[in-house]
Structures are given as C-alpha cells and as structure tokens.
C-alpha cells in the first residue's frame, strides 16, 4: 500500500492564507483559471459571485472553518472544526464573499453538538481525521447560538436523502473559504498582515468510492463499507477527472445540490446541503524533497443522508429544528 497523507485535526481551525486577488464585480462567478495556477480558490475552483453566500446560506467563521446557517440559532460545520469551541464563547460570522471589510456579526455559543461517533473515535485516536474517516465515523457538528442570528444572514436547508438512491444528478457544488495554493502552504509570518480569505466554489462530479484505491490506496476491505456509507467523494485537482481541491479553511463548508439536479430547479446552486467538507487524500507521489504536492486527489465529504450509518439523519433531527430540513424532495 502506498503512503497516503491526510490533513491534521486542526484542518480549518486556523486561518491559513488565501491570495488577495480582487473580487468579481458581476453576479456570476469568474471563469475558472488554468488548473495549474496557484491563485485559484479551492485550488482550481472559481471565485463566488457577491451574492453566492447569501443565496446559499454559506458562512465564514472568523479565524475558523467554513459553515452554513441551517436555522435561526444553528450553524452546521465539521466536527473537527469545533474542538476549541465552548459554551459562553463568541463567534464572528459573515456571508461576505471575502473577509476584507466584511460585515461581521458576533454571536454567543450556547451549545456545541458533536456527532457521538466522532466524539467516541476522537477519544480513541486523539483527534486524528484519518482514524475517524477510516473507521466510518461522521465528521459533522452543529453550533447552537445563544440568540437568533441577524435576519440579514440567510439560511440553508438540510437534505437528508441520499442523492444516488433518489436518482438525482451526481454533481454537487463545493464551497469553502480556504487557501488557494497548497495544503502545505506556510502559515502567515508573524507581524505580517493576514491574506484575504475568499469564497471559492466548484461544480464537482461525484466519484465512486470504489475508485479511492486506484490513486494512492487508503482503505482495506474492513474499512471500505463504513467509509462508503459515511462519506462521498469528489475528485481533487490531482485526479484525472479533478477540477478543484479542498484546502485548510474549507473544512465544514456545505456541499450543495447542483442546479440541474431536479426538474424546474433554480438557475444556480440550491441552498440544500447534502454534505460537509471533511478531509482529503493525496496520491502518494512525492517531489524531489520527499513532500507530496499538497493538491488532493480526492475530497472527502460527510454524508447527511437518512441511510448513512451512525444515525446521522436522526441525530440532526434531534439537534436541529424541523424548519432546517427540506422534506419535499426526500424519497
């Protein structure tokens, strides 16, 4: 088995720099740049239009992960993003397309709901994302705020159906306020200004989970079943079919249904969340210094479907209000 590298448990918990390129001025995303550019959000994606975050409910947590508002007092993100959050603390959130001169809202934390399977494996493995994903636990969490978030912050809905079983088109919108060059980009230099964080998006195909062992194998037979049920994959930029890779800061970002997924769908990405950015893998190749490229082969997303293991859908229905779910499209 080839060596395969994954992100560490602090993926997305620190603001790892993005480039300070200027934002698009129209309502549509900019055209994707060349795939080998080091200036693309999501490492190969597109810059989101100014209205995208508000159209979809996407949030940036200052100094933290990407997330989605899914209720008046509820924020959906990845479990590994919330390890430092405690009741009584405060978060600053925004739906601005970048964090330069963003309209920040400060909100208190009432409770942090971490999925029980992740909590259990976290104790076993010491917050190892690879251990978590290989054991098929669910990397998902909900932050409950002390008060309603401002009405100017839009809300996404959670789709708890499994897209394959429902017959929907196997494409999704990836989102994230992460870095744009490499997973191994150096941290900001002390005393230097932080680089701007920009919202990146990508329309990505769903990759069969069986293909994960073709490009830097990471799962054995015992792990395959739990992983397949708990996660789905999109191809990273180093995959032959890839078009964008996740990066630190993209963790917790909502994965949305693509616009043509169902008849009569809206002209853009829907605000229906079917997954959460969780992790990524590399192909096991090295440069001359013995370092992997830092550009993922696969992006890994937590399933929120009602047939996922660990009772994810049932757990979400306990911690979220009924209004958080889109039920009319459930099979």
Task: Look at residue 32 and tell me if it is in a domain.
Answer: no
Query: What pTM value is reported for the model?
Result: 0.83
Cβ–Cβ under 8 Å, residues 149 and 105: yes
pLDDT score, position 243: 81
Task: Look at residue 280 and tell me if it is in a domain.
Answer: yes
Cα separations (Å) of 277 from 13, 106, 250? 13, 24, 7
Tens-digit pLDDT profile for the chain (331 aa)? 222 333 322 233 333 333 322 233 333 333 333 333 334 568 888 888 888 899 899 999 999 999 999 999 999 999 999 989 999 999 999 999 998 889 999 999 999 999 998 887 766 676 667 777 777 889 999 999 999 999 999 999 998 877 665 555 578 889 999 877 777 766 666 666 667 889 999 988 888 888 888 887 678 787 888 888 899 999 999 898 888 999 889 999 999 987 554 444 444 567 889 999 999 888 766 666 666 678 889 999 999 988 888 899 999 999 999 999 986 554 3
Task: Look at residue 269 and tell me if it is in a domain.
Answer: yes
Number of structural domains in the chain? 1
Q: The tokens of 15 are what?
A: 């603001």
Task: Look at residue 28 and tell me if it is in a domain.
Answer: no
Task: Specify the CATH number for the domain of residue 183.
Answer: 2.40.10.10
Cβ–Cβ under 8 Å, residues 84 and 91: no
Tell me which residue range forms the domain holding 221. 46-321
Task: Look at residue 329 and tell me if it is in a domain.
Answer: no
pLDDT score, position 14: 30
Q: Which runs of E-coded beta strand occur in the chain?
A: 46-47, 58-61, 66-71, 74-77, 90-94, 105-114, 141-145, 157-158, 171-176, 200-205, 231-235, 254-257, 272-281, 298-303
Task: Look at residue 21 and tell me if it is in a domain.
Answer: no
- State whether residue 100 is helix, strand or coil: coil
Task: Look at residue 109 and tell me if it is in a domain.
Answer: yes
Task: Look at residue 219 and tell me if it is in a domain.
Answer: yes
């Amino acid at each position: 088995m080839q060596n395969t590298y994954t992100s560490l448990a602090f993926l997305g918990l620190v603001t790892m720099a993005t480039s300070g390129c200027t934002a698009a001025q129209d309502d549509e995303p900019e055209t994707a740049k060349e795939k080998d550019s080091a200036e693309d959000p999501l490492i190969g994606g597109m810059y989101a239009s100014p209205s995208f975050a508000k159209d979809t409910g996407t949030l940036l947590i200052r100094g933290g992960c990407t997330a989605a508002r899914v209720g008046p007092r509820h924020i959906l993100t990845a479990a590994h993003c919330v390890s430092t959050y405690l009741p009584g603390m405060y978060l600053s959130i925004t739906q601005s397309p970048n964090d330069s001169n963003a309209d920040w809202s400060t909100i208190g934390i009432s409770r942090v709901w971490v999925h029980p399977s992740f909590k259990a494996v976290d104790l076993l493995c010491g917050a190892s994302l690879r251990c978590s994903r290989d054991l098929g636990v669910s990397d998902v969490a909900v932050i409950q705020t002390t008060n309603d978030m401002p009405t100017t912050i839009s809300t996404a809905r959670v789709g708890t159906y499994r897209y394959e079983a429902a017959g929907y088109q196997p494409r999704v919108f990836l989102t994230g306020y992460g870095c744009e060059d490499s997973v191994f980009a150096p941290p900001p230099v002390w005393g230097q200004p932080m680089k701007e964080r920009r919202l990146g998006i990508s329309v990505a195909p769903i990759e069969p989970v069986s293909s994960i062992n073709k490009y830097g194998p990471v799962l054995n037979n015992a792990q395959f079943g739990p992983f397949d049920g708990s996660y789905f994959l999109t191809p990273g930029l180093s995959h032959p079919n890839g078009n964008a890779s996740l990066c630190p800061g993209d963790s917790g970002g909502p994965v949305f249904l693509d616009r043509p997924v169902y008849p009569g769908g809206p002209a853009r990405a829907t605000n229906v969340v079917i997954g959460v950015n969780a992790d990524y893998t590399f192909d096991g190749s090295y440069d001359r210094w013995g370092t992997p490229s830092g550009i993922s082969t696969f992006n890994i997303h937590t399933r929120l479907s009602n047939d996922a293991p660990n009772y994810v859908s049932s757990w979400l229905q306990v911690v979220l209000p009924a209004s958080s779910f889109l039920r009319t499209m459930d099979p």
